[in-house]
């Protein structure tokens, strides 16, 4: 029983991080119809700077603030400095340019920081809380849940209750009508990228303490996992991203506990293949598969 709870807790925590990262992907997709393949690298770059702040000041709170600010700045730079110049004729173009950005970021991180894993320590215990004989979740896991819940709720409120959120959604659904109604669509796009990069950076920062550490290639696996989550949830659906993230987090934790950590990527691959063959539009999306 205790093991099950622990697994569930760990799985959900991992899933919460996946959900956050997938949400970042969904945000950009909804705002710009671009699948941001640079999400992983951008987020890891922000996380590295947060790591420096953490090592320098010892404050995890400051690190969180850093990752959000730096992430937003990276998102701004990517959109204003690069992605808006990509000819939109073919959707492949933006993917390829994003890949170029990934290579530059990853290479630079490797040059600046080296390939070794930088461990990230957190001010919360990773030991599970005991209630009698039962080991439940660790304080760190609870912390992750809270943070993710706050961020997801914040984003949901932003989009459904505020004028800014309405402007962003309008820009995504019909940019011509949005412009005719005075919405500065290009600003909304930039904002979408900034938000997405900040959220992605936060996700990486939350994920890293439970792994070996931060490395330039951390973004690759994280992107694939988040991408799978976003696909399964339906690229258009933020709710789907969250639910799918939690489910896949639990699934992955079960699989790796049973068969070892190396099996993880295989499980993700199999899951992705199955979903793409059976229901490409994702489990929660009500639309037909976007032949993007």
Partner 1 sequence: MTPIQRWGATAGILVLAIAATFVLDPYRNYLLAMTAAYVCATSGLSLLVGRTGQLSLGHAAFMAAGAYAFALTSNALAEADAPGPVHLLVPFLAAVVVASVVGLIVGVAGARLHGPYLAGLTLALVIALPAIASTFGGLFGGDAGLYVSVERRPDWLSTVIATEQWQAWVGLIVAAIVFGALAQLVRSPSAIRMQAVRDDESAARLSGIDPVRVRVGMFGISAAAAGLGGGVLAYVTQAVSPGAYSLTFSLFLLVAVVIGGVGTLAGAVWGAIVIVLVPEITTAITEALPLPAELSQRLDGNLAIVVFGVILVVVMLAAPQGIHGAVAALTGRLRRRRPRTAPPAPTT
Partner 2 sequence: MTEPATGQAATATRTALSLEGVVAGYGHDPALHGVDLDLPEGSIVAVVGANGAGKSTLLRTISGLLPPSSGDIRLGGESLAGVPVEERIRRGIVHVPERRQVIAELTVEENLRLGALWRRDKAERASDIAEVYEFFPALAARRTKPGSTLSGGERQMLAIGRAYMAHPKVMLLDEPSLGLAPKVVADIMAMLAWLRTEYGLTILLVEQNVRTALSIADTGVVLNLGRVVATRPAAELEADEQLRHLYLGF
Using CB under 8 A, list all residues that contact partner 1: 35, 37, 82, 85-87, 90-93, 95-97, 99-108, 110-112, 114-115, 217, 220-221, 223-224, 227-228, 231, 235, 259-260, 262-266, 268-269, 272-273, 276-277, 280, 289, 291-292
Cα 212–218–220 angle (5° rounding)?
145
Q: Give the Å distances, CA to CA, from 216 to 117, 169, 229.
A: 9, 33, 22
Q: Determine, following the binding rule CB under 8 A, whether residue 179 of this chain makes contact with partner 2.
A: yes
Query: SS3 of 158, please?
Result: helix
Beta bridge partners of 131: 134
Q: Determine, following the binding rule CB under 8 A, whether residue 27 of this chain makes contact with partner 2.
A: no
Q: Determine, following the binding rule CB under 8 A, whether residue 158 of this chain makes contact with partner 2.
A: no
- Take residue 256 and report the two structure tokens written for it: 């790796």
Q: Determine, following the binding rule CB under 8 A, whether residue 127 of this chain makes contact with partner 2.
A: no
Min. distance of Cβ 174 from partner 2 in angstroms?
Answer: 5
Give the phi and the psi of residue 86 in degrees, each rounded to 5: -75, 125
- Take residue 14 and report the two structure tokens written for it: 């991992």
The DSSP output letter for 85 is: G
Whole-number Å distance between alpha carbons of 35 and 157: 23
When CB distances are held under 5 to 8 angstroms depending on the partner's kind, the choice from partner 2, partner 1, none that residue 266 binds is partner 1
Min. distance of Cβ 80 from partner 1 in angstroms?
Answer: 14
Query: Quick one: 59 or 181, whose CB is closer to partner 2?
Result: 181
When CB distances are held under 5 to 8 angstroms depending on the partner's kind, the choice from partner 1, partner 2, none that residue 221 binds is partner 1
Whole-number Å distance between alpha carbons of 178 and 183: 5
User: Which distant-in-sequence residues (6+ apart) come within 8 Å of 268 by Cβ?
Assistant: 224, 225, 228, 248, 252
Count, residues near partner 2 per rule CB under 8 A:
17
Could you say which residues in the range 192-251 bind partner 2, by CB under 8 A? Answer: none
When CB distances are held under 5 to 8 angstroms depending on the partner's kind, the choice from partner 2, partner 1, none that residue 176 binds is partner 2
Three-class HEC string of 90-136: CHHHHHHHHHHHHHHHHHHHHHHHCCCCECCCCCCCCCCCEECCEEC
Q: Determine, following the binding rule CB under 8 A, whether residue 173 of this chain makes contact with partner 2.
A: yes
Whole-number Å distance between alpha carbons of 158 and 196: 13
Q: Determine, following the binding rule CB under 8 A, whether residue 89 of this chain makes contact with partner 2.
A: no
Q: Determine, following the binding rule CB under 8 A, whether residue 121 of this chain makes contact with partner 2.
A: no
Q: Determine, following the binding rule CB under 8 A, whether residue 54 of this chain makes contact with partner 2.
A: no
Min. distance of Cβ 17 from partner 1 in angstroms?
Answer: 18
Interface ranges with partner 2 (CB under 8 A): 163, 166-167, 169-170, 173-174, 176-185
């Amino acid at each position: 029983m205790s093991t099950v709870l622990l697994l569930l807790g760990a799985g959900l925590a991992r899933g919460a991080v996946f959900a956050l990262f997938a949400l970042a992907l969904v945000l950009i997709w909804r705002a710009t119809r671009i699948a941001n393949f640079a999400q992983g690298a951008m987020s890891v770059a922000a996380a590295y700077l947060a790591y420096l702040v953490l090592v320098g000041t010892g404050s995890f709170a400051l690190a969180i603030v850093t990752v959000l600010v730096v992430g937003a700045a990276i998102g701004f730079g990517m959109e204003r400095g690069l992605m808006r110049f990509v000819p939109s004729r073919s959707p492949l173009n933006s993917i390829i340019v994003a890949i170029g950005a990934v290579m530059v970021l990853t290479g630079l991180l490797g040059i600046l920081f080296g390939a070794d894993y930088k461990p990230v320590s957190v001010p919360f215990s990773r030991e599970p809380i005991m209630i009698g004989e039962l080991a439940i979740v660790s304080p760190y896991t609870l912390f992750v849940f809270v943070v993710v819940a706050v961020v997801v709720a914040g984003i949901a409120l932003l989009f459904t209750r505020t004028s800014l959120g309405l402007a962003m959604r309008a820009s995504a659904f019909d940019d011509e009508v949005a412009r005719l109604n005075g919405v500065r669509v290009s600003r909304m796009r930039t904002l979408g990228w900034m938000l997405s990069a900040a959220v992605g950076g936060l996700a990486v920062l939350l994920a890293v303490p439970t792994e070996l550490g931060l490395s330039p290639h951390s973004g690759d696996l994280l992107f694939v996992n988040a991408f799978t989550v976003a696909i399964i949830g339906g690229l258009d659906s933020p709710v789907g991203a969250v639910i799918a993230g939690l489910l896949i987090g639990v699934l992955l934790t079960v699989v790796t506990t049973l068969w070892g950590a190396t099996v993880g990527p295989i499980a993700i691959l199999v899951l992705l293949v199955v979903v793409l063959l059976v229901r490409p539009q994702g489990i929660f999306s009500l639309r037909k598969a976007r032949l993007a």
